[in-house]
Amino acid sequence: MKSVSVRIDDDIKARWERLSDEHGLNASHLMRQAIVEKLEELEDFYTVRQRRSEPFDPIPDEDVWKRVGLAD
């Protein structure tokens, strides 16, 4: 596992340490979890942004219902 150095304001560091201390949490684990969650959020955002920029052909409602097996 690699190490990463991040600069944060003193007040943010104090809040982070207070939260982890008060609740018996592992500060490093919390930081990794927060980074992974934000990374996944950004990946989703940019995937949607890319897809929205590509042209598409709309599908009529009747065809959608047929494709999902809900048409008569």
Determine contact, residues 59/49, Cβ cutoff 8 Å.
no
52 exposed, middle or buried (CB, 10 Å; 0-12, 13-18, 19+)? exposed
Residues 6+ apart with CB under 8 A from 31: 16
> How does residue 1 score in pLDDT terms, banded at 50, 70 and 90?
confident
What is the reported pTM?
A: 0.66
Residues 10-64: tens digit of each pLDDT: 999 999 999 999 999 999 999 999 999 999 999 999 999 999 999 989 999 999 9
Give residue 43's pLDDT. 98
